[in-house]
Amino acid sequence: MSSKLLQDIETFEDYGHPLIIAGPCSAESKEQVLTTAHELNKIGINIFRAGLWKPRTLPSSFEGVGQQGLEWLIEVKHQTGMRVATEVATPLHVEASLKAGIDILWIGARTVTNPFAMQEIADALSVNPDVIVLVKNPINPDIDLWIGALLRVYNAGIRKLGAIHRGFSTYGNHIFRNSPQWNIPIELHRRIPHLPILCDPSHMGGKREYIPTLSQSALDMGFNGLFIESHCNPDKALSDKEQQITPNQLNTIINSLVIREKGFATTELNLLRELIDQCDNELLEVLARRMHISRQIGTLKKDHKLQVVHTDRYNSILNKMIEQGDKLQMNPEFIKKVMSAIHEESVRQQIQILNKNDKNN
C-alpha cells in the first residue's frame, strides 16, 4: 500500500501534544459522569470519554446505560466546555450520538474486526463528515484489517480521523491484558505517516500499575497522544475497575511523563529498545509457561514413581534445539547454555515438588 493512503486527513495539532482523552470505561450514572468530568477538567483534560454501549465478553456483565447517557455527556459539554467522546458499534449508536451532538466517536476493537459492521458504521457516519472518528486496532494483530476499517471511514467522507492502539488479544496468561506488539502501530505509521495515532495504555495493560510505563513508551515512540480510563471511584466501577485510575492519579502520571518532540519513532534507539523489552516480556511468559508444565510433569512423575532426570529425553531436546537454532542462525554454544539453565531450573522445581509431597505424606 502506498503512503498516499488517507491523503487529506487533518492532523490533531490543535488539540495539544500529547493529546489526552480521559474518562470512565462506562458512564454509570449522571452523578458519576459529571463528577469525573469536573475532576478531569480541573487537571486540564479537555476531551472526555465514556462508553454508553459496552461490548462485554459475558452477557451477565454490565452492558452500559445506552442512549440515556447521551444527555449526561451533553451536560458535561455544557458544564465544562470539554469535547465528549463515546464508542459506537452500530448505525443506531452513530445516529443517536450524532443527533445528540457528541464530538468524537470511537470504534472499538471488537467492532473493527468485522468488515460488515465497519461498513454499516461508515455509511451511517457519512451524513456528518465533520465528526471526529477514532478507530481502534482490531482484536487480532492484522494491520490490513485495521487499515481497511480506517479506509471505510475515510471513504464515508470523514477527514478528522485517527487510530488508537490498544494492543492485541492473546490466549493464556500474559503480563499485559492485550499484547502491545508495537511493531504493528509502527508499521501503520510507516504506511500512513500523517495519521494521528493514540495509545490506550488502560486496555493494553489491564492494570493501573502498567499505565505510566506504557504511556511513556508510547510517547517515546512518538505516538500523538493517550486514551486513558479514569473514574472518580475506580474501585466501585461497573466495568474494567482494575485498570481505571482517579483523575488525581492521572494528573500525577501526566506530570511525570517525559514529553518528547513530536513525531513517530523520533529516535530509532527508543523504538528498538521497546521491541527488545517486548521480546523480554515474551521470553519471560514462555519460560513461566514452560515451568508450569514442568511442575505438572513433576506431579505425574511423583504419582507414577518415575525418576526426575531422564538423560535421553534431555539430550534429544538439546539436539533438536541445536538443529532448529542453526536454521535461525543461532550459535550452538549459546543454545546449550540457555537450554542447560532451563533444564536445571525444571529439575529443581520438580525435585521441590517431590520433597513437598513427601513432607505432606
Footprint of ligand PEP (CB under 6 A): 25, 51, 55, 87, 108-110, 136, 166, 203
Q: Closest approach of Cβ 359 to Mn ion, in Å?
A: 45
Q: Report the residue number, 189 or 231, with the smaller CB distance to ligand PEP.
A: 231
CB 260 within 8 A of CB 222: yes
Q: Which helix (H) or strand (E) holds 272?
A: helix 268-303
Q: Closest approach of Cβ 120 to ligand PEP, in Å?
A: 17
Determine the angle formed by the axes of helices 68-80 and 91-100, rounding to 10 degrees.
30
Q: Closest approach of Cβ 220 to ligand PEP, in Å?
A: 22
CB 131 within 8 A of CB 98: yes
Picking from 29, 45, 132, 130, the residue whose alpha carbon sits closest to that of residue 82 is: 45
Give me the phi and psi of 300, to 5 degrees please. Answer: -60, -45
d(CA 199, CA 317): 41
In the list ligand PEP, Mn ion, none, the entry touching 166 (Cβ below 5 to 8 angstroms by class) is: ligand PEP
Q: Report the residue number, 110 or 336, with the smaller CB distance to ligand PEP.
A: 110
Question: Which residue number is nearest to ligand PEP in terms of Cβ?
Answer: 108
Q: Closest approach of Cβ 51 to ligand PEP, in Å?
A: 4
- How many C-beta neighbours within 10 Å does residue 170 have? 17
Any idea what DSSP says for residue 173?
Answer: -
CB 1 within 8 A of CB 191: yes
Question: 42-53 burial by CB neighbour count: b if 16+ within 10 A, else e?
Answer: ebebbbbbbbbb
Q: Closest approach of Cβ 107 to ligand PEP, in Å?
A: 8
Q: Report the residue number, 72 or 154, with the smaller CB distance to Mn ion.
A: 72
In the list Mn ion, ligand PEP, none, the entry touching 201 (Cβ below 5 to 8 angstroms by class) is: none
Q: Report the residue number, 66 or 193, with the smaller CB distance to ligand PEP.
A: 66
Angle at 178 between CA 164 and CA 9, to 5 degrees: 10
Q: Closest approach of Cβ 205 to ligand PEP, in Å?
A: 12
In the list Mn ion, ligand PEP, none, the entry touching 108 (Cβ below 5 to 8 angstroms by class) is: ligand PEP
Binding site for Mn ion (CB under 5 A): 25, 240
d(CA 238, CA 257): 29
Q: Report the residue number, 146 or 346, with the smaller CB distance to ligand PEP.
A: 146
In the list ligand PEP, Mn ion, none, the entry touching 91 (Cβ below 5 to 8 angstroms by class) is: none
In the list Mn ion, ligand PEP, none, the entry touching 103 (Cβ below 5 to 8 angstroms by class) is: none
Q: Report the residue number, 152 or 231, with the smaller CB distance to Mn ion.
A: 231
Question: Which residue number is nearest to Mn ion in terms of Cβ?
Answer: 25
Q: Report the residue number, 28 or 302, with the smaller CB distance to ligand PEP.
A: 28
CB 103 within 8 A of CB 132: yes
Q: Report the residue number, 224 or 244, with the smaller CB distance to Mn ion.
A: 244
Q: For residue 61, is it left (φ>0), alpha (ψ between -120 and 50) or beta?
A: beta
d(CA 30, CA 47): 17
Return the residue matching grid coordinates 539436539.
319
Q: Point out which residues pair with 51 in neighbouring strands.
A: 26
Q: Closest approach of Cβ 177 to ligand PEP, in Å?
A: 9
Q: Closest approach of Cβ 275 to ligand PEP, in Å?
A: 22
Q: Which helix (H) or strand (E) holds 198?
A: strand 197-199
